[in-house]
Structure 1
C-alpha cells in the first residue's frame, strides 16, 4: 500500500532542514515509492527555495498566501496520488520505521485514521499517546495517556487522530471534506474531523509502534502572541461543540455552563475567552447549516463516542 506524506509549512525553513531528511530516510527504508509533498502556506522566509533546491525528491505545492493549517492540508490531499495520506507537522522528526506500522492497520474497510505515538524532541517524554475523553461540566474533556508504550502494545481505538502525525484514508477524508476552514488558522480541526468520522461509523486507531518526535508550537509559538493563540483555541473549542454535539443532555449542560464560565474568566482578567466567544458566535449560521447536513449521516451517537475506550 502506497502513501502520500504531506507536510504543511509556514515560515519553517529551520525546522524543515532538520525534519525533512528524516521523512526522506523513512521512505527509503520502506523500499516503496511513497510520495512526499510539502505544502508551503505562503511563507515569507526561504522555505520554497530550500525545498526546491535541496530536496528535489519532494513535490512542492507553493501557495501565494496563508490559508491556515487545515485548508493547506486539504490542498495537499487533493494534490496527492495515493490512497493513504499521512499528515505531518513541519516540526516533526520521524523514526525510520514509523510508516509501516501506520499502513498495516488499514486492513478493515471502516478504518478512517491511524495516529502515531508522539514524543517530545527529547525522545523520552510522551506528548500524545492513547486519547480518551469524557463530557463533563458542559465540555469535552480530553485525557492523553503519556506513558511510553511497550513493544507489545497493540493498536487500539483513540478519541481523535492528531493532524500533525496521522495517516488517513484519502477517500474518507475527502468524503468529509477534510479539515473545516472554520477552525482557521489552527487547533481543534483534527478533533473535529475525527469526531465526524466516528459519527459516520468509522474508526480512529492509535498505533503505539509508530513513533515521531514533536517540537510543540515550533511554528505557531514563533509567529503569534500567546493571548491570540489562546483566543483562537477557545473560539475553536466552542465551534467544535456547537457543530458536533447533538445529545440533548450534553447540549443543555454546555449552555448552562457557558455563561458562568465566561463571567468567571472576565472576573479573573482572562479576556481572550470572551474574545474567542464573540469570534465563534459570528459563525453560528454556518454551524447550524453544517449540523443539519451531517445529521443524516450519523451512525454513532455522542454517548457511544465518549465511551469508545
Structure 2
C-alpha cells in the first residue's frame, strides 16, 4: 500500500439551500467524459430528492443520473425530474428488493463506460463529481476510486451516521490489506471492471438476508483479481445523520450479520486469511470493551451487538450453503 499526504479541501460544505436554483444554469460545464451516476433508494423519497438536488447544484454533473427506486409504490415527482443541465435523469422503478440487486440493475441500465455510485442520503461538495471522476481517470482502467465521507450534524436527537471515512491522506490499496476500504455508497469505476468481477453479490447488502458488507465483498474480489482501490480524499461528500438513537443497535446488528456472511463466504481450511480477519474483528472489540464501556457505553454495547451479528451471519451463511449443497447432492441421485 502506498500513501501520499494531501491538503484538506478549502471549500466548506454547501447545503442545497445555500445556492439559489437560478445559479444552476450559469455554472460552467467542464470537459469530463460521459459518465453515469447511479443512486438507489427505497421508501426515502425526500432524502433521495435532496441528494439529487445536491448533485445537480455541483460545479459539474454526470451525463446521466439513474435512479433505481425499490419503493413500495413509484413516486411520480421523482419520475418527472428534469435537471436543467446537460444531465439526463432516468427514473427506474422496480419490484425487486435489495441494495446489491438495485446497484446491479443500475450498472446494467447505464449507457456509459464510467460509472459512479452514491447512496440516497448524501450531500455533495460542489467540486465532488469532477474530483471523483478525475481521480478515476488519473488512476487508469484497472482501478476503482472511493472518496472521503464526512458526517453531517445530527438531524434528530441522538442522530448518527453508520459509517464515514474522514482521512485526508490519499492511499493506493493492492493485494491483501487486512481491512475493507471500498465504500459502495461513494465510488467510481469503469463498467468493464465491475462486469469482470461479477458486480455486487445480491446475497449481501441492505434488504438481503445478510444486510451489509456488499461493498466489502466487492472490494475484496477486486483486490483478489489484481485491481487497485484508490482513496481520493479530494472527492468529498456528506453522509446525513438522520437515523435516531433508537435505530443504533439495529444498525449494528445488521452490519454484523452482513459482515458475518461476508467472512463465511471465504472461510476455508486451505486459506486462513479471512478466518484471521474475522477473529481479529471480534477479539479487538472484546479487548477494548472494558475501557469503552466507561467512555462510550452506547458504542460498547453496539460492539457486543455487532459481534453477535457476525456470529449469527457466519452460522446462517454456512447453514444456507450446506442446505444448497445437500439439495444439489439429492438432485443428482
TM-score, structure 1 length as denominator?
0.68
2:75 pairs with 1:48: yes
Paired residues of 2:66 and 2:92 also in contact (CA < 8 A): yes
2:311 pairs with 1:282: no
2:98 pairs with 1:68: yes
- Please give the secondary structure, in 2, of the residue aligned with 1:180: coil
Q: Distance in 2 between matches of 1:110 and 1:278?
A: 38
- Please give the secondary structure, in 1, of the residue aligned with 2:38: strand
1:171 to 162, 182, 192: 192
Q: Map 1:254-273 onto structure 2 (within 5 A).
A: 254=278
1:112 to 131, 134, 143: 143
Aligned to 2:257: 235
Q: Which moved more, 1:74-83 or 1:185-194?
A: 185-194
Q: Which moved more, 1:243-252 or 1:164-173?
A: 243-252
Deviations 1:107-162 (A, max 9, x none): 45453311121122249xx9744xxxxxxxxxxxxxxxx35x3xxx6x42255221
Deviation at 1:60, TM superposition (A): 0.6
- Please give the secondary structure, in 2, of the residue aligned with 1:15: helix
Aligned to 2:3: none
Aligned CA RMSD, in angstroms, stands at: 3.7
1:9 to 41, 58, 65: 41
Closer/same/farther in 2, CA of residues 198 and 286 from structure 1, 3 Å limit:
farther
Deviations 1:166-206 (A, max 9, x none): 11221111222211122142421111111110111100001
Aligned to 1:141: none
Q: Map 1:126-275 onto structure 2 (within 5 A).
A: 128-129=164-165, 146-147=166-167, 149=168, 155-158=170-173, 159-185=180-206, 186-216=211-241, 218=242, 221=243, 226-244=248-266, 247-248=271-272, 251=275, 254=278, 274=308
Q: Distance in 2 between matches of 1:100 and 1:271?
A: 39
Closer/same/farther in 2, CA of residues 279 and 209 from structure 1, 3 Å limit:
closer
Q: Distance in 1 between matches of 2:273 and 2:56?
A: 48
Deviation at 1:251, TM superposition (A): 2.8
Aligned to 2:293: none
Closer/same/farther in 2, CA of residues 128 and 33 from structure 1, 3 Å limit:
closer
Closer/same/farther in 2, CA of residues 257 and 116 from structure 1, 3 Å limit:
closer
Deviation at 1:225, TM superposition (A): 5.2
Closer/same/farther in 2, CA of residues 229 and 243 from structure 1, 3 Å limit:
same
Bigger radius of gyration among the two = 2
Closer/same/farther in 2, CA of residues 249 and 98 from structure 1, 3 Å limit:
closer
Q: Distance in 2 between matches of 1:180 and 1:277?
A: 20
Q: Map 1:18-57 onto structure 2 (within 5 A).
A: 18-26=50-58, 29-30=59-60, 34-44=63-73, 48-55=75-82, 57=88
Q: Distance in 1 between matches of 2:314 and 2:149?
A: 30
Q: Distance in 1 between matches of 2:258 and 2:306?
A: 12
1:102 to 110, 132, 146: 132
Gaps of 5+ in 2: 1-32, 155-160, 174-179, 290-300, 323-333
Deviation at 1:13, TM superposition (A): 1.6
Q: Distance in 2 between matches of 1:215 and 1:196?
A: 29
Q: Distance in 1 between matches of 2:184 and 2:273?
A: 29
Paired residues of 2:261 and 2:310 also in contact (CA < 8 A): no
Aligned to 2:113: 83
Q: Distance in 2 between matches of 1:257 and 1:167?
A: 27
TM-score, structure 2 length as denominator?
0.64
